[in-house]
Chains A and B, each alone.
Chain A
Amino acid sequence: MVRIFGPLVGLFFAAALFWCFGNGAVQYLTAPAAKTAESLFHKHPHEDFKLASDGVFGRFDRAQLQRGFAVYQQVCSNCHGLKYVSFRDLKDLGYSDPEVKAIAKQWANKAPTLDEKTGDKATRDNLPADHFPAVYYAGQGNPPDLSLITKARHGGAAYVYSLLTGYSDQPAKLLKRFPDAKTPNGLYYNPYFANLNLAMPAPLTSDGQVTYSDGTKATVPQMAKDVSAFLTWTAEPKLEKRKQVGLAVVLYLLAATALAYMAYRNVWAGKKH
């Protein structure tokens, strides 16, 4: 039975697939999918972008993370939240307890409170134990939360860096070939963004826009790089610990496996197989 019905079923599926293939091929040849502006002008993130936290031995560069936090605080935090990160986590960046407390207290966006008896909404100063408060950008909806942005985009930190430094005028070639693809009003052209036009205007525009306390010159690429490093940390504060534990685990396993191999050879010694 199986040997009769099996081949029939197989031929049935094969015939259906051949039918789809034939139809698809005709369509492909007669009406190939048109090229779009996105498919031709979208750029992939800079591949040569490197951070201290990359690689097997990667460690965070604390000074860079603090600079990146300054960029976030002075620029990004106006529109973007960081809701999975707590103020207390900033201790990881090398801030002391009183510093963290002061940062939380002085944070411009206050923590919302609700009086459960009266239903009154109010705000209070942030505490170290609080998460960064959500940001609502009046009239513009809710720009993406940045806590996980480097994990949530192909290319990670390199994408963030490329996007921040990638704003430009629309290429003349693009407009010539796709006259309808002109960037609409209120949107901004950026070839690193998936559909080329995004609602965020270039956030980092001039050197010295952010004040660095460590004397580093705040050029646009420098700020972009620092904030990308900071957002790598916010996406995974445990990255460094992960790599440290990983090294110990893999080294142990290499030794254990070498021993296991010797034991295996021992057990089988004299037994041909």
Chain B
Amino acid sequence: MSFPWAQEYKPSHPFMQYLDEKLPLPRFVYNAVGAGYPVPRNLNYFWNFGVLAGFCLVLQIVTGIILAMHYAGDAKLAFASTEHIMRDVNFGWMLRYMHANGASAFFVVIYAHIFRGFYFSSYKAPREMIWLIGVAIFLAMMATAFMGYVLPWGQMSFWGAQVITGLFSAVPLVGESLHTWLLGGFSPDNATLNRFFSLHFLLPFVIAALIILHIWALHIPGSSNPTGVDVKTESDTVPFHPYYTAKDGFGLGVFLIIYTSVVFFAPDQLGHPDNYIPANPLQTPAHIVPEWYFWPFYAILRAFTFDFLFIPAKLMGVLAMFSAILCWFFLPWLDTSPVRSGHYRPLFRKFFWALVVDAAILGYCGGSPAEEPFVMISQLAAMYYFLHFLVILPIVSSIEKPEPLPFSITEAVLGKDDKAVLTPHHAPAPSAA
């Protein structure tokens, strides 16, 4: 499970020795995120986002459990109880703003984490399983965030629930019954609100369990690194603690400065004003938009404006929106280049940046009203999105000529790697020019 040079947990205090014998939890932590986990020495700041994402989940669970102590899951009371939290509960305003903006922070972090994965091909063997679990975590996050947004029962909550559950009515044959079943009624109401509350409370714990699997799977091959070259010798790695605990501590500080600046000085900036209007089933807001983190996918959903062949536009939109995420599951087999890091893949790198721009365009269009020219732009952007993952990546990975890789991480960092040559288990390094 780890490299042979990993430090072993050796408790000195008799109590810790006793504990280690009966319940080796400290040993487990030591090997997971302590000095017992050797990590490549060359990780850049993009490797901070995993720890930050874990922090965000804890933040959301803690603030969420507290909000649930004051929130009333009832269509008649939900909005007023949210205002009760904002006005009367001690520090309620702070906890609610932390939770609402915590969702945004979580998605900022997770998108950085995912795009790190895209650029450095973190999904490639031997790390496919980490990637697959990660995509599942992302799907669970999206469901959690969506249901959480419904809970204050404002106008955007209500109409968001109406539109998103309405997607399921596009399913052929059983769509309408499925829709009614999901809502527990014919439109979003008390039954819908209560099941969303229950599931919103449950799913974060499912995510926590998935994260444990994600980290477990990570510890089998060990962390990837910016060169994409496998770890060869001890000099390629440093122990997680204190090296990366220190670096993650600093990263956490920077993250918290940005996050708290938003929480305390612009807490409603990322939300929509309409959600401060109580839900009204008889009046639709002028523009229904989801939270910003769904905009790219919302743009893809809305890009399908005409029936294609025999498939209704609505069904196409739903299929495409789900496929846009599901195709990530197949990335390890779509991109077959033997080189992992984008640093050494000139052609791939160009397309990667095109994808970044494309995602930004999709996001912008998804947040704009469904008018021209946004619809036409989002159609072109969505086209690139699908071509990128499903067509371009397979082609690029077979025709591209990668740049020469360093022999080892040590060589990449120090310019030369004497140790690699001297280490008995490895063949002498070929000169890497």
Contact = CB atoms under 8 A, between A and B. Distances in A.
Interface of A: 2-3, 6-7, 9-11, 13-21, 23-25, 28, 32-33, 56, 84-85, 89, 144, 147-148, 151-154, 194, 235-238, 241-243, 245-247, 249-250, 253-254, 256-257, 260-261, 263-264, 266-268, 271-273
Contacts of B286: 194
A3 B249 CA distance: 41
B390 interface: yes
Given A256-B253, A257-B254, A11 B391 contact: yes
A250 B257 contact: yes
Contacts of B267: 242
B101 interface: no
B316 interface: yes
Contact of A19 (B42, B277, B306, B382): B306
Contacts of B265: 56, 243, 246
B371 A33 contact: yes
Given A3-B333, A20-B313, A56-B265, 7 more contacts: A7-B394, A194-B286, A247-B264, A261-B253, A264-B247, A268-B247, A271-B238
Interface in B244-298: 246-247, 249-250, 252-254, 256-257, 260-261, 263-265, 267-268, 273-274, 276-277, 286
Contact of A271 (B41, B261, B276, B383): B41
A28 B376 CA distance: 9
Given A21-B376, A25-B376, A246-B264, A238 B390 contact: no
B348 interface: no
B327 A260 contact: no
Contacts of A260: 246, 249-250, 252-253
Contact of B80 (A84, A89, A256): A84
B264 A245 contact: yes
Contacts, number: 179
Interface in B209-244: 238, 242-243
Q: Tell me which of A9, A23, A25 has the highest count of chain B C-beta atoms within 10 A of its own C-beta.
A: A9
Given A16-B308, A257-B254, A273-B42, A152 B264 contact: no
Contacts of A253: 253, 256-257, 260
Interface stretch (B86-94, B109-117, B178-186, B350-358): B86-94
B118 interface: no
Contact of A18 (B87, B250, B276, B383): B383
A148 B79 CA distance: 12
B238 A249 contact: no
B158 to A, nearest CB: 14
17 contacts: A6-B391, A15-B308, A19-B306, A20-B308, A21-B376, A24-B372, A28-B372, A33-B372, A152-B277, A194-B286, A242-B97, A243-B265, A246-B265, A253-B260, A263-B246, A272-B414, A273-B413
B138 interface: no
B376 A6 contact: no
Of the candidates B238, B264, B268, the one having the most CB atoms from chain A within 10 angstroms of its own CB is B264
B197 interface: no
B253 A257 contact: yes
B273 to A, nearest CB: 5
Nearest to A262: B250
Nearest to B305: A20
B386 A264 contact: no
B276 A152 contact: yes
Contacts of B380: 17, 21
Interface of B: 41-43, 80, 83, 86-87, 93-94, 97, 238, 242-243, 246-247, 249-250, 252-254, 256-257, 260-261, 263-265, 267-268, 273-274, 276-277, 286, 303-306, 308, 311, 313, 316, 320, 323, 327, 330, 333-334, 336, 371-373, 375-376, 379-380, 382-383, 386-387, 389-391, 394, 413-414
Contacts of B264: 242-243, 245-247, 249-250
Nearest to B84: A84
Given A21-B383, A261-B250, A272-B413, A254 B257 contact: yes
The 7 closest A-B pairs by CB, nearest first: A246-B264, A10-B390, A257-B253, A152-B276, A2-B333, A16-B308, A267-B246
Contacts of A152: 273-274, 276-277
B86 A236 contact: yes
A271 B376 contact: no
B273 A16 contact: no
Nearest to A28: B372
Contacts of A254: 257
